[in-house]
Amino acid sequence: MAATMKDIARETGLGLATISKYFNGGTVKENNRLLIEAAVKKLHYVPNEMARSLKTKQSRVIGVVIPELSNAFITSIISAMEDILRKKDYAIVVCDCRSDPRHEKEAVEFLLHRRVDGLINMATDPTGRHLKAALDADIPILLVDRLIDSLRGRTSAVVIDNAHAAGQAVRKLTGLGHRKIGLVLGSPHLYTTNCRLTGYLDALKEAGIVPSEGFIRYGDYTLDGGYQAVQSLMAMEDRPTALFVTNFEMTLGAMLALNQGGVRVPEDLSVIGFDKLELFGAIFPDLTLIRQPQLSIGRESANLMLDLLNNRDSASHRIVTLSTELTEGKSVRAFTEQATV
Amino acid sequence: MAATMKDIARETGLGLATISKYFNGGTVKENNRLLIEAAVKKLHYVPNEMARSLKTKQSRVIGVVIPELSNAFITSIISAMEDILRKKDYAIVVCDCRSDPRHEKEAVEFLLHRRVDGLINMATDPTGRHLKAALDADIPILLVDRLIDSLRGRTSAVVIDNAHAAGQAVRKLTGLGHRKIGLVLGSPHLYTTNCRLTGYLDALKEAGIVPSEGFIRYGDYTLDGGYQAVQSLMAMEDRPTALFVTNFEMTLGAMLALNQGGVRVPEDLSVIGFDKLELFGAIFPDLTLIRQPQLSIGRESANLMLDLLNNRDSASHRIVTLSTELTEGKSVRAFTEQATV
DNA sequence: TTGAAAGCGCTAACAC
DNA sequence: GTGTTAGCGCTTTCAA
C-alpha cells in the first residue's frame, strides 16, 4: 500500500541510493531534487522508520518505566523529558508498572524486544533485578529519582539531594525552637524514604535533639497515608509542635487531616510540606515547602540520556544530584510554650 | 553485538524456520525445543521486534496524541488504555502536544514515520487537518473525548454524552427552583464546550428559563480560568444562585474563589462540579458533581482500537458514547429567596 | 553525483 | 517437523 523508496526511484528514474542520499541530507542535483520532491508528494511517500532502524541499529526510541502515570510529579518530569528528546527525534514509550515489580520487569523486557536505544527508569524494585536484561543488552540506563545501590557505577542517575532536602526542612524548624518534630515518610525501604529519614535524623542530632520513634510515621506516599499518619500523630498525648511531610500527596492528606481535626496551622502546629505542584499552590497557597525541580529533573535526564547515547563507548556513567529549595510560606512559626495547648 | 536468530540456528544446528516457528508458537520437537531454549539463554537472545515489524508490516505500536500529559483526567484514561493494549502486546507512544495544533500535526507525522498501527487522538485542532496524513496512510484513527465534525464517518470515537451531562446538572438545579444558573465552560469552539453549552441551554429551555449571556463564562478549562470566571460571576450585582462548572480544574478554581470570597456552599450558592478525580474527593468530599467514567473511556478506546486493528477491511467506524453520572453531594440545595442575600 | 548490490533480523511460502 | 529461500524498506560500501 504505502509507497517505498523503490516506488519513488521508479517514478523518478533515479537509483535507490540517490533517493536515500537525498533523505539523509546528501547533495543531489537540483533537477533530481525537484523530481524526488514531486514524486514524494504524488505518492504520499513516508519514510519507514522501522526499516531504517533495522539497518542502522538504532530505534531512536527511549523506554521510560515509571511506577505510576497518574502522578503529577512524574508526569511533569516526563513532559520535560519528552520535549527535549523529541526535538532530537527520539520517541519515548512510557510504561506504567503500577508500582508492581513484576510488571516492571515485564515492561523492561517488552521495551528490550522493541530495541529501545536507552532506558529511563524510576525504579519500583529496589533490588534492580528488573534491569538485569537491560544491563546485558548493554544499553544506557538512567535512573531517575531513585538510586539502586546494587547498580552503582553501572547506570547514570538524576536525583535530588534528599537528605539535604529533609535537613533544610528540619533545620528550619529546629531553628525556630521546635524540638518535637513529626515526620511523615513514604514506604519503608524506598530509596527516597531512607534518604529523607537520614536527613531528618542528622538535622535533629545537629540540634542536639534525641529523635523519638513515636514522631515518625510511614504514609506510603499516598494522600490517604498522609491523612492517617497525621491523624495518629495528632492523637498522641504528647504531640509534635511541628511537622515535616515528605511528598505531595501526603502533604495534601496531612492538611486535610489538620483542617478536619481543627488543628490550626501555624498557630497549633508548624508544617512544612513537599513538592510545589500547580494544584498545590492554588489550594494551600501559604504552605512552607520543599520544592523539587521537576522541570530540571526532566531536562537533565533527557540531556544525560542523549549524552549517554552519543558516547556509547566510554563508561561515562554519572550521577547528577539536583538541589531542592525551601519555599517560605506562612505555615511555620516559632515555637512558644502556649502553642502546644 | 546482540544475538540473532541466525546465531541460535547455528548454535543449535537447526534451520532458521524452525527457530522462527518456535517463537511463534508452532510445534517443535521436544528435543529441539530444549536445544533452542538453552541457546537462547546462553546467547542472551532477544527477539528483534523491529525486524519482525518490517516483515509483518505491523509495528504493534499505537500512537497517542494528547493535549497535555500533566492532566489527571487524561492520564487516568491513558493508564486504562495502556493496561489493555499492553496485554495484547501493543505499545503506546504518547505525544503531548501542549494544546498546540502545530505540535499536534508534527506529532502525527512523527508517529506515522514510525509506522504506528493506529492512532488515538484527543484532538487539539478542531478542524482535523492534522489527521489528514493519517487518513491517507489508511490506519485506524480513534478520537477520544472530542469529535471532529469534518471527519465524521472516517474515524471511530469514544466520547461522553456531553449535552446530556450538562443537562443532568442543570435539570437538577432547575428542579430545585434555581433560575439564575451560572455556567463555566472551557475554551470556546472546543467540541466539549459546545456540547455542554447546548445541554445547558436545552435544559433551561425545558424549564422555561430564558438564558442570560451574563451567566456564561469561558474558563479555558484551567484552574485559573475557573477561578477568574467565578470571581467575576460573584461580582455581578444580580448574581446566580447556582453554578455549574464543566471540568475538574475549573471546579477546583471555582471552589477556591468561593472559599476566598466568603461565599458559602450551598447556603449562598449551589454548586455542581465536574470529574471526580481522586484528589478531588479528598479535598471537597461533599461536592455534587458530574462524573465522567475515565476508566471506561480508556478501556472502550483500547478495545475499539483493537477491534479496528483486527477488521481492517470493513469500514466499521463507530462512535461510542458513554454516559455520565450525577454524584450527589451536599453542595446543592433548593432555591429560597433568602439564599441570594 | 549516481547506481548496483549486499545485507540488517525476521517471516512465510514451499519443498522435503 | 524441518530446512531453503526470497523478500520486507532501508543504508551503505564500492564502482562508475
> Measuring CA to CA, which residue among A69, A47, A122, A60 is closest to residue A92?
A60
Assign B341 a pLDDT band (cuts: 50, 70, 90): very low
Cβ burial of A324 (10 Å; 0-12, 13-18, 19+) is buried
Which residue among A50, A133, A137 sits closest to B53, beta carbon to beta carbon?
A50
CATH assignment at residue B29:
1.10.260
Contacts 24+ apart (CB under 8 A), B274-280: B274/B245, B274/B246, B274/B247, B274/B248, B274/B250, B275/B73, B275/B247, B275/B248, B275/B251, B276/B327, B277/B72, B277/B73, B277/B76, B277/B248, B278/A70, B278/A223, B278/B72, B279/A223, B279/A252, B279/A279, B279/B72, B280/B248, B280/B251, B280/B252
Q: How many residues does chain A have?
A: 341
- Which residues in A lie closer than 8 A to residue B69 (C-beta atoms)? 75, 78-79, 82
Contact between A299 and A335 under an 8 Å Cβ cutoff? The reply is no
Distance B38 CA to C11 C1' (A): 22
Q: Is A252 close to B279, i.e. CB distance below 8 A?
A: yes
Cβ burial of A176 (10 Å; 0-12, 13-18, 19+) is middle
Residues with CB under 7 A from strand C: A 13-18, 21, 26-29, 31-32, 51, 54-55, 57; B 2, 4-6, 16-17, 20, 23-24, 47-48, 51-52, 54-56
Contact between A219 and A185 under an 8 Å Cβ cutoff? The reply is yes
Of all residues in chain B, the percent with pLDDT exceeding 90 is 75
A59 touches chain B (CB under 8 A): yes
Distance B3 CA to C13 C1' (A): 25
**CB half-sphere exposure, A128, CA atoms < 13 A:** 20
Distances (CA, A) of B7 to A135, A138, A145, B36, B38: 20, 18, 38, 11, 12
> Measuring CA to CA, which residue among A63, A104, A73, A223 is closest to residue B75?
A73
Distances (CA, A) of B25 to A178, B178, B204: 66, 65, 61
Q: What is the pLDDT of residues B116-154, one digit of tens each?
A: 999 999 999 999 999 999 998 889 999 999 999 999 999
Contact between A244 and A182 under an 8 Å Cβ cutoff? The reply is yes
Q: Which of residues 205-264 of B touch A (CB under 8 A)?
A: 223-224, 227, 252-253, 256
Cβ burial of A337 (10 Å; 0-12, 13-18, 19+) is exposed
Give yes or no: residues A150 and A242 share one domain. no
Q: How many residues does chain B have?
A: 341
Alpha carbons A98 and A65: distance in angstroms, whole number = 10
Which residue among A44, A114, A227 sits closest to B91, beta carbon to beta carbon?
A114
Domain boundary among B34, B55, B76: B55
The residues pairing with B62 across neighbouring beta strands, listed in sequence order, are: B92, B118
Q: Which of residues 84-123 of B touch A (CB under 8 A)?
A: 86, 91-96, 110-115
- Which residues in A lie closer than 8 A to residue B76 (C-beta atoms)? 70
CATH assignment at residue B266:
3.40.50.2300
Distance B24 CA to C8 C1' (A): 21
Measured in angstroms, the CA of B305 and the nearest CA of chain A are apart by 18
Which residue among B54, B70, B136 sits closest to A44, beta carbon to beta carbon?
B136
Measured in angstroms, the CA of B109 and the nearest CA of chain A are apart by 9
Q: What is the pLDDT of residues B218-274, one digit of tens each?
A: 999 999 999 999 999 999 999 999 999 999 989 989 998 998 899 999 999 999 999
* Bond preceding residue B240 cis, omega within 30 of 0: no
Over 70: is that where the pLDDT of B55 sits?
yes
B190 touches chain A (CB under 8 A): no
Distance A95 CA to C6 C1' (A): 38
B-interface mutation test, from A50, A82, A92, A224, most B Cβ less than 10 A away: A50
A292 touches chain B (CB under 8 A): no
Domain count, chain A: 3
Q: What is the pLDDT of residues B186-213, one digit of tens each?
A: 999 899 999 999 999 999 999 999 999 9
User: What residue in A sits closest to B43 (Cα-Cα)?
Assistant: A136
Give yes or no: residues B264 and B142 share one domain. no
Distance A7 CA to D11 C1' (A): 16
Alpha carbons B147 and B204: distance in angstroms, whole number = 25
Q: In the 8-state DSSP scheme, what is residue B337? A: G
Assign B340 a pLDDT band (cuts: 50, 70, 90): very low
Spell out the per-residue pLDDT of chain A, length 341, in tens.
689 999 988 889 998 989 899 988 878 888 889 988 999 999 999 899 899 999 999 999 999 999 999 888 999 999 999 999 999 999 999 999 999 999 999 999 999 999 999 999 999 999 999 999 999 888 999 999 999 999 998 999 999 999 999 999 999 999 999 999 999 999 998 899 999 999 999 999 999 999 999 999 999 999 999 999 999 999 999 999 999 999 998 998 999 899 889 999 999 999 999 987 776 677 787 899 999 999 999 999 999 999 999 886 556 789 999 999 999 999 999 998 754 44
Distance A36 CA to D16 C1' (A): 22
> Measuring CA to CA, which residue among A161, A155, A144, A124 is closest to residue A77?
A144
How many residue pairs bridge chain A and chain B with CB atoms within 8 Å of each other? Answer: 120
Alpha carbons A107 and A94: distance in angstroms, whole number = 9
Contact between B286 and B329 under an 8 Å Cβ cutoff? The reply is yes
Q: Is A82 close to B96, i.e. CB distance below 8 A?
A: yes
Give B254's contacts (C-beta < 8 A, 6+ positions apart). Answer: B184, B226, B227, B229, B230, B243, B245, B271, B273
B55 touches chain A (CB under 8 A): no
B-interface mutation test, from A23, A73, A75, most B Cβ less than 10 A away: A75
Task: Give one word for B237, left, alpha or beta, with left for phi > 0 and alpha for psi -120 to 50.
Answer: alpha
Give A39's contacts (C-beta < 8 A, 6+ positions apart). Answer: A7, A8, A11, A12, A45
Task: Give phi and psi for A296, each to the nearest 5.
Answer: -65, -40
Alpha carbons A312 and A140: distance in angstroms, whole number = 8
Q: Is A76 close to B70, i.e. CB distance below 8 A?
A: yes
Q: For strand B91-96 and strand B61-66, is the pairing parallel, antiparallel, or unpaired? A: parallel
Cell 478506546, located at residue = B301
**CB half-sphere exposure, B55, CA atoms < 13 A:** 6
User: What residue in B sits closest to A67 (Cα-Cα)?
Assistant: B79
Which residue among B54, B110, B224 sits closest to A91, beta carbon to beta carbon?
B110
Give yes or no: residues A46 and A89 share one domain. no
Outline where chain B has alpha helix (H): 5-12, 16-23, 30-43, 49-56, 72-87, 101-113, 132-137, 162-175, 191-206, 223-234, 248-261, 278-283, 294-310
- Which residues in B lie closer than 8 A to residue A95 (C-beta atoms)? 82, 86, 91
Beta strands of chain A (E only): which ranges? Answer: 61-66, 91-96, 118-121, 141-144, 156-160, 181-185, 216-218, 242-245, 270-274, 288-291, 319-322, 325-327
Contact between B13 and B24 under an 8 Å Cβ cutoff? The reply is no
Give yes or no: residues B307 and B209 share one domain. no
Give yes or no: residues A156 and A166 share one domain. no
Give yes or no: residues B80 and B47 share one domain. no
Task: Give phi and psi for A16, each to the nearest 5.
Answer: -55, -45
Give yes or no: residues B207 and B332 share one domain. yes
Closest nt to A15 (CA→C1')?
C3
CA atoms B330, B332, B335, B338: torsion sign: positive
Which structural domain range is residue A334 located in? 162-292+326-339
Give yes or no: residues B225 and B314 share one domain. no
* Bond preceding residue B126 cis, omega within 30 of 0: no
Mean pLDDT of B96-114: 94
Residue whose Cα is closest to the C1' of D7: B55
3-state SS of chain B: helix, strand, coil percent to 5?
50, 15, 35
Distance B2 CA to D5 C1' (A): 24
Give yes or no: residues B173 and B305 share one domain. no
Q: In the 8-state DSSP scheme, what is residue A28? A: -
Q: In the 8-state DSSP scheme, what is residue A328? A: P
> Measuring CA to CA, which residue among B192, B188, B248, B241 is closest to residue B212?
B241
Sheet holding B288-291, edge to edge: B216-218, B181-185, B242-245, B270-274, B288-291, B325-327
Alpha carbons B199 and B163: distance in angstroms, whole number = 4
Over 60: is that where the pLDDT of B314 sits?
no
Over 50: is that where the pLDDT of B279 sits?
yes
Measured in angstroms, the CA of B210 and the nearest CA of chain A are apart by 35
Q: In the 8-state DSSP scheme, what is residue B273? A: E
Mean pLDDT of B31-39: 89
CA B124 from centre of chain: 12
Contact between A67 and A74 under an 8 Å Cβ cutoff? The reply is yes
Q: Is A113 close to B137, i.e. CB distance below 8 A?
A: no
Give yes or no: residues B26 and B47 share one domain. yes
A58 touches chain B (CB under 8 A): no
Give yes or no: residues A178 and A271 share one domain. yes
Residue whose Cα is closest to the C1' of C2: A18
- Which residues in B lie closer than 8 A to residue A53 (C-beta atoms)? 50
Measured in angstroms, the CA of B301 and the nearest CA of chain A are apart by 18
C-alpha cell at A108: 523492561
Q: Is B256 close to A283, i.e. CB distance below 8 A?
A: yes
Q: Is A282 close to B114, i.e. CB distance below 8 A?
A: no
Q: What is the pLDDT of residues B246-257, one digit of tens each?
A: 999 899 899 989
Contact between B199 and B185 under an 8 Å Cβ cutoff? The reply is no
Give yes or no: residues B154 and B171 share one domain. no
- Which residues in A lie closer than 8 A to residue B278 (C-beta atoms)? 70, 223
Give A85's contacts (C-beta < 8 A, 6+ positions apart). Answer: A62, A91, A92, A302, A305, A306
